Amino acid sequence: MLGRLLTRLYSHLLKLYPDRFLDEFGEEMGDVFALALSGLDDSRTPPATRRVKMARLFFREVCYFPPAYLDARRYQVSLGAGETHAGRASYGEGEVTEAWVGRRAPWGEALIGALPFLLFGLAYLLNGFAELGGHYRLAFNLLDGSLNRPAITLTPLMGVYFVSALGLLFGLLKGFPRWSYAYLGMSLYFGWSYNNQNYYGVFYKWWVWLPSFAAIVLGLLLTRSRAPLARLLQGAWNDWTRLSFALYAFALPMFTVVFFDEDWGVFQLYGLFFDTVLLAAVAVAFLRSCTTISRVLSLEAAVLILVVKWLLGGGYPSFDEPLQVLYFWFLFIIIYFGFLLLPAMIGLLRRGVDALSLR
Amino acid sequence: MFNQDLPVDEEVPPGLTPLREPTLFILLALSKGRKHGYAILKDVEALSEGRVVLSTGTLYGALARLLEQGVVRKSTDDSGGDSSGSKSRSGSGGIRVRKYYELTQFGHRVLEVEINRLSTILAMAGRGLGEQGI
Band of the pLDDT at B45, cuts 50, 70, 90? very high
Q: Please indicate, yes or no, if residue B11 is contained in any of the structural domains.
A: no
Q: Please indicate, yes or no, if residue B16 is contained in any of the structural domains.
A: no
Quick one: pLDDT at residue A148?
A: 53
Range among A151-160, A215-224, B71-80, B112-121 rated most confident: B112-121
Beta strand B100-103 with A197-199: parallel, antiparallel or unpaired?
unpaired
Are A64 and B68 a contacting pair at CB < 8 A? no
From chain B residues 69-98, the ones with a CB under 8 A of any chain A CB are 88, 90-91, 96
Under 8 Å between Cβ of A238 and A101: yes
Q: Which of B56, B59, B66 to probe by mutation at the A interface, max A CB count within 10 Å? A: B56
| Structural domain count, chain B | 1
Average pLDDT of the residues in B70-89: 63
- Give the end-to-end CA distance of chain B in Å, rounded to a whole number: 51
Q: Please indicate, yes or no, if residue B81 is contained in any of the structural domains.
A: yes
Are A27 and B64 a contacting pair at CB < 8 A? no
The domain that holds B37 is classified in CATH as 1.10.10.10
Quick one: pLDDT at residue A214?
A: 93
Quick one: pLDDT at residue A332?
A: 77
Quick one: pLDDT at residue A210?
A: 93
Are B64 and A25 a contacting pair at CB < 8 A? yes
Q: Give the orientation angle of helix B56-69 with respect to helix B21-30, to 10 degrees.
A: 70
Run of H or E residues at A340: helix A322-358
Q: Please indicate, yes or no, if residue B52 is contained in any of the structural domains.
A: yes
Average pLDDT of the residues in A101-126: 86
Per the model's pLDDT, the better-predicted residue between A274 and A128 turns out to be A274
CA distance B130 to B126: 6
CA distance B19 to A202: 46
Task: Give the A:B interface size as CB pairs under 8 Å.
Answer: 77
Band of the pLDDT at A129, cuts 50, 70, 90? low
Are A28 and B68 a contacting pair at CB < 8 A? no
Average pLDDT of the residues in A287-314: 83
* Short-list A261, A266, A252, CA closest to A314: A266
- Residue B48 reports pLDDT greater than 50: yes
Q: Which of B40, B58, B59, B60 to probe by mutation at the A interface, max A CB count within 10 Å? A: B60
pTM metric for this prediction: 0.62
- Residue A343 reports pLDDT greater than 50: yes
* Short-list A320, A331, A313, CA closest to A275: A313
- Residue A358 reports pLDDT greater than 70: no
Q: Please indicate, yes or no, if residue B8 is contained in any of the structural domains.
A: no
Question: Domain range for residue B106?
Answer: 21-131
Are B57 and A27 a contacting pair at CB < 8 A? no
Q: Torsions phi, psi of A18, nearest 5?
A: -60, 150
Q: Please indicate, yes or no, if residue B113 is contained in any of the structural domains.
A: yes
Q: Please indicate, yes or no, if residue B47 is contained in any of the structural domains.
A: yes
Q: What is the pLDDT of residues B3-18, one digit of tens each?
A: 444 444 456 666 677 8
Are B68 and A78 a contacting pair at CB < 8 A? yes
- Residue A131 reports pLDDT greater than 80: no
A291 Cβ contact list (under 8 Å, min separation 6): A102
